[in-house]
Structure formats: C-alpha cells, structure tokens
Amino acid sequence: MAGAGKKFLDAGFSFPKPLIDIKGKPMIQWVVENINTDAKFIFIVLKEHLEKYNLNYLLKLIAPGCEIVALEEPTQGAALSVLAASHLFDDEHPIAIVNSDQVIDWNSNEFFYAMAADECAGGIVTFESTHPKWSFVKTGDDGFVTEVAEKKPISNQATAGVYYFQRGSDFVKYARSMIDSDTRTLGEFYVCPVYNELLKEKKKMRAFPVKKVWSLGTPEDVHAFLEYHKDHD
C-alpha cells in the first residue's frame, strides 16, 4: 500500500489505489477479505495517504487490531517497504507478505495448513501464466521450489503475490542479504527474489498452485475483474 499508484492517478482517479471503489468496497477491503484468515494484519502505507484519507479508521474497521506503519515516501521496492515494519515481525512466528492489489480464487487456510504441515521455510502461491509482468518459480518433480525469478518467465508458474515465511526473522535476514548484494529488478528490490537467498542455504520451499488470480494493479485490470464478475454473478 506504500506505492504512489501513478497509473490510477494518470487515469483520472482521485483516490489512491487501495481506496479505489470496486463494487461498493475499497480495493484493500477486497484483499483483506480474500486473505480470510485469523491473523494480525500489518499495513504499510504512505504517511500522506494516512493523513489525507483517514486510512487508520478504514484499516482498523476491516482488520481490527491491525498495526499501521507509515512511510514518508515510496521506497526503492516492496522488500524495503516490508523491512520498514520488521520491528513488528522480526521473530520466530510465521508471516505472509501479501500484495495489496489482487484477488485470488483459493482457500487461504488450505495454503497456510500446507505450509505448516510440510514445515516449509517458505511458500509461494502460484498460477499458470507466462506473461513477463509477473514473478515466477521453477519447481522439481517433488513440487518444491528450486529457483525464483522476477519479471522473467523461467516456467509457466507465475506467483500470485502471497509470500510465506516460516519465521519473520528469516525474511528480515535474507531480504537484507539480497539488498546487501544489490539484487534489483528494474531498479527495485522485490520480495520474490528474497527466496533465492533461502535456496542458497538449501531451505525447503513449496509452490501452492491456484486456478485463478485477478490482478487489480491497473485501471484495465480492475475493468477486467468487474467484467468477469458481471458475467459470473
């Protein structure tokens, strides 16, 4: 939620992307309801949006007990934005880092159960696509991840923007390792490539395939989502 949302502003939308109305609900409410699990939510937002649009009231309404971390300005990538909240999860408890602009056709609790049952150090929700706008995973015959790549289709398994780590402290450790090595994509530090740092140490990671993912990242994406639901409601 800590991006500028330039594509929506350029298209004439007056509210930031997380507040874009979709069938009577702001986008971020769709995402929270889609996660649909009993968890403590941490939202990372721009301070400007927090103050201008009273985001704290909305976020606490849709996710009671949540924590909100406000950034002065956009960072050089999602991994850095997440690290800004690391004081809230740098411990032995699991975390899931979730994009704020997608809806997934899934049972979220099946995903979290599968990760815990396999004692995976990491897990990624995937779907079939080869478009280079996504990040991708490559898996072995056993279903475990062997490589990830950002914006490079190394397989037909694209990631759906849900990134699980068995320990929050693992994300902190390996994200910092990635940043120290200046591993960027298009000039930014993304979350998905952090998993390559885990794989270097032979950590076990599983892909969790789902049938359908709707990105809501652009006005065109939102239109496609609305058209789909108009035909399927």
Is residue 1 in a domain?
no
User: Which CATH number characterizes residue 186's domain?
Assistant: 3.90.550.10
Q: pTM to 2 decimals?
A: 0.94
> Per residue in 154-187, pLDDT tens?
999 999 999 999 999 999 999 999 999 999 999 9
Three-state secondary structure of 89-143: CCCCCCEEEECCCEEEECCHHHHHHHHHHCCCCEEEEEEECCCCCCEEEEECCCC
Average pLDDT over residues 101-105: 96
> How many angstroms separate the Cα of 158 from the Cα of each of 14, 36, 60, 132, 212?
31, 22, 32, 9, 11
Residue 33 belongs to a domain: yes
Q: Is residue 84 part of a domain?
A: yes
Q: Residue 98: inside a domain, yes or no? A: yes
**Residue numbers of the domain that contains 90:** 6-232
Using one digit for the tens of pLDDT, what is the confidence trace for 180-211?
999 999 999 999 999 999 999 999 999 999 99
Quick check: is 159 in a domain? yes
Residue 138 CA to residue 190 CA, distance in Å, equals 17
Domain count, the chain: 1
Identify the CA nearest to 11 among candidates 179, 223, 219. 219
In a domain, 171, yes or no: yes
Nearest CA-CA partner of 80 in 191, 195, 225: 191
Examine residue 70 and state whether it is found in any structural domain, yes or no.
yes
Please report, for residues 38, 98, 160, 193, the alpha-carbon distance to residue 101 in angstroms, rounded to integers and kept in the order given: 20, 9, 10, 19
Average pLDDT over residues 79-87: 98
pLDDT at position 205: 97
Domain membership of residue 87 (yes or no) is yes
- 117 or 11, higher pLDDT: 117
Residues with Cβ < 8 Å from 219, sequence gap 6 or more? 7, 8, 11, 13
